[in-house]
Structure 1
Amino acid sequence: MKDDINYRKAIELLQKVSSPEGFLASANNISNYKRVWARDGVICGLAALASGDKQLIETFRVTLKTLADNQHINGTIPSNVMTNGKEVEVSYGGLAGRVDAVTWFIVGVCQYAYYTNDLAFVAKYNVHIEKCFALLEAWEFNNKGLLYVPLSGNWADEYITDGYVLYDQLLRVWALKSYNYFLEDKSIATKIETIIEQIEINFTSDAGGDKYHQRAYNEIEIRDFMPCSFSPAGYKIQFDAFANSLSLFLNIGSDDFQDEIVKYSLNLKNEMKLKLLPAFWPPIFETDLDWNLLKNNCKYEFRNFPFEFHNGGSWSMVNGFYGLALLSKGKITEASEILDALNFVNAVADFSFYENFNSNTTEPNGVAFCAWSAAAAVLLHQSLYNNFKFLV
């Protein structure tokens, strides 16, 4: 197995953010990041599984326990949990609830059980998972297969995506597939097929079928990649790097359409100074119609300047999953290039593992010592050099 200082530093950061309650979002003493977050914690946990480090895997177990112990009565998984002695502070979201906390939790439980060969672990949290899936069914609202997600309802919590958000549909598919590995339930298999069919009908150009919003679909031209979201107000057609990576990883869309995603994403990556994909592309500028929606969607300070944060910024975490997507398509050389670029940005300022980077100036943004930036490098490193593969 290949080993280097970049990998060791990433593991060290994951060890630093390990707490008795689970993985914290950052090693920095910033209150909002000194919490166990659902999506951050699970992504760090997936890296723990990939690493094979027993202590990190144990931290993943307690991360999932913390989330499950604080599940809301209606099934919602906490966005984050902070423990301070005996006092527990639970958040289910800021300006809106976090839909992806629910799906990441399910993925986490199932992947943990699979890699530790602890089948009882799924049974232990079966009631929690079933409540999650019942809640997701309710969040369809029209019972037609796709989740309806509020603005600010997932990891891109200060961006413009809302309604039928591609990323959340794909995470739900992964969660259902992961769970059904253990249950082998025909009704779940049918649900998976229904969701995938609706994703392909509404987010690709070559699937045919009855669209959710035929008029809005007719007004855009889908090519090269799946658009990031649509709603009754129409489509938002930015390229979502995380979502399109998940679509490749889950093998959704025709072979030809997936080839187009790979071609577009590699061309875009190669145009970037950091040789990493921006989270969403192109950036939204002050002259664009969506600028007002973007500038008002922040609880504290505005961070989505063009080329930064969600608005065209480059994230190690997102690119880790992009590297996994490339590997799933046999693009080993291209995945290795992504890992090299990840290691380069993670090493900036003596391995500060910044949250994201300005794709234009290459300057770091956000919080330093960000746990999932390290997790991304671990996931891709182990997938490339130790043949680690997720349960999909």
Structure 2
Amino acid sequence: MNNTAYHKAIELLGYVSTPDGFLASAVSTTNYKRVWARDGVICGLAALASDDEKLINTFKNTLETLAKNQHPTGKIPSNVLIIDEKSEVSYGGLAGRVDAVTWFIIGVCQYAYYKCDVSFISKYNSEIEKCFELLEAWEFNNKHLLYVPLSGNWADEYITDGYVLYDQLLRIWALKSYNYFVKSEAITDKIEKITTQIEINFMPDTNGEKYHERAYKEVNFQDYMPCSFSPSGYKTQFDAFANSLALLLNIGSSEFQNKMLNYANTLASETQLGLLPAFWPPVFETDEYWHLLKNNCKYEFRNYPYEFHNGGSWPMVNGFFGLALLSKFERQKAIAILEKINEANAKKDFSFYENFNTKTTEPNGVSLCAWSAAAAVLVHQSLHYNFKILV
């Protein structure tokens, strides 16, 4: 049990704690010194796991900041900068962020679950209901899957668009979390319908009407769910975050889940870092989708092969893979992933880098990244103190 790595992670979470919530990083770089929806909730889950009341209170403040700045249409801010009690609110950059909405719902429900406080759900009930109405609208065709724009979630400089697996799974998690408290038959039915559509459209050899029958027939399915599809066809990269969520949420047959686990374990074991790349394989300059990568950046191009979303390895993503392994009773493999997360976070005197080049192992992106620390805390506490998230 690496207590040094754990305490360094807790120390960083404390350092990025502000009265308005968790900052994405302790470094003043572009937008990272802001309260972000997805980063803040992932750090909040780690706060709950840590049982540290100061960090838990920061999580509560994060949710309050997001709720206060909800758009009238229901959108949750991607991030909020607060200076002298004035808010500068962003709902996305080159495109809006769909996952900010689902992470907010998940965050409120996880906090209420941890505190055994149903009144916390009541406090934010109208905000949550607005979020769900917006998600319903984002189906567009009323066929149960969200339609997500390019650059519309955490992989904001990557190639996924349309019916993105990660966003469908976050929506299921949000619905299940909320339904734990409200016990709605309508929500139960919606969860079943979304789950059915995921299994029909993202898994091989399934029965049922496909969204895009011709494109489905052309896919050479592997032992995992592809990252997205749209009217132009399927993008078949392995999405480590999404497939980890599928395992956590128990989506798909036991046989197919075992295939996903085996694929992920094998892939991680074959890398220098021993971690899962966020998306695999990388997109190269000679590939069909390179043109989607090269212009999809607001500041500077970062998605070189093996880096950032394009095959880079993120401690945060591997934290959720660790939780997925534990949910499937793969304790020894979860221990191994935590060791690799800690090794990555410890590089350059515990710099907690955002991600790493999977080929060279060199760090990329911002240092002192809060959700890299959160990953270590989540897996550590789940392993050693049986912390459980609500799924």
Query: Into which bin does the TM-score normalised by the smaller protein fall?
Result: over 0.9
Structure 2 CA distance for aligned equivalents of residues 30 and 63 of structure 1: 20
Structure 2 CA distance for aligned equivalents of residues 154 and 318 of structure 1: 14
Corresponding residue number in structure 2 for 1:77? 76
Matched, 1:58 2:63: no
Question: What is the CA distance between 1:231 and its match in structure 2?
Answer: 0.1
Matched, 1:338 2:331: no
Report the TM-score, using the length of structure 2 for normalisation.
0.99
Corresponding residue number in structure 2 for 1:9? 8
Structure 1 CA distance for aligned equivalents of residues 222 and 280 of structure 2: 14
SS at match of 1:314: coil
Q: How does 1:173-188 map to 2 (within 5 A)?
A: 173-188=172-187
Corresponding residue number in structure 2 for 1:253? 252
Structure 2 CA distance for aligned equivalents of residues 171 and 353 of structure 1: 25
Corresponding residue number in structure 2 for 1:306? 305
Corresponding residue number in structure 1 for 2:86? 87
Q: How does 1:37-52 map to 2 (within 5 A)?
A: 37-52=36-51
Question: What is the CA distance between 1:206 and its match in structure 2?
Answer: 3.8
Report the TM-score, using the length of structure 1 for normalisation.
0.99
Corresponding residue number in structure 2 for 1:236? 235
The more displaced of 289-298 and 163-172 is 289-298
RMSD between superposed Cα atoms in Å: 0.7
Corresponding residue number in structure 1 for 2:352? 353
Q: What one-letter code is carried by the residue in structure 1 that aligns with 2:139?
A: E
1:256-299 Cα offsets, whole Å, 9 max, x none, are 11010001111100110000000000000000010011111111
The more displaced of 135-144 and 84-93 is 84-93
Q: How does 1:1-392 map to 2 (within 5 A)?
A: 2=1, 4-392=3-391
Question: What is the CA distance between 1:86 and its match in structure 2?
Answer: 2.5
SS at match of 2:154: coil
1:26-50 Cα offsets, whole Å, 9 max, x none, are 0112241110000000000000000
Structure 2 CA distance for aligned equivalents of residues 185 and 363 of structure 1: 48
Query: Which structure 1 segments of 5+ residues have no match?
Result: none
SS at match of 2:303: coil
SS at match of 1:230: strand
1:171-212 Cα offsets, whole Å, 9 max, x none, are 000000000000000000000000000000000114311100
Structure 2 CA distance for aligned equivalents of residues 204 and 52 of structure 1: 38
Structure 1 CA distance for aligned equivalents of residues 187 and 271 of structure 2: 41
Q: What one-letter code is carried by the residue in structure 1 that aligns with 2:46?
A: A
Identity of aligned residues (%): 71
Residue 54 and residue 254 in structure 1: after superposition, are their counterparts in 2 closer, same or farther (change >3 A)?
Answer: same
Structure 2 CA distance for aligned equivalents of residues 85 and 117 of structure 1: 34
Structure 2 CA distance for aligned equivalents of residues 161 and 208 of structure 1: 25
Structure 2 CA distance for aligned equivalents of residues 390 and 222 of structure 1: 31
Question: What is the CA distance between 1:300 and its match in structure 2?
Answer: 1.2
Structure 2 CA distance for aligned equivalents of residues 254 and 330 of structure 1: 16
1:84-137 Cα offsets, whole Å, 9 max, x none, are 112210000000000000000000000000001111000000000000000000
Structure 2 CA distance for aligned equivalents of residues 254 and 175 of structure 1: 21
Q: What one-letter code is carried by the residue in structure 2 that aligns with 1:238?
A: Q
Question: What is the CA distance between 1:58 and its match in structure 2?
Answer: 0.2
SS at match of 1:32: coil
Structure 2 CA distance for aligned equivalents of residues 232 and 31 of structure 1: 34
Structure 1 CA distance for aligned equivalents of residues 29 and 215 of structure 2: 43
Question: What is the CA distance between 1:3 and its match in structure 2?
Answer: 5.9
Count of aligned pairs between the two proteins = 391
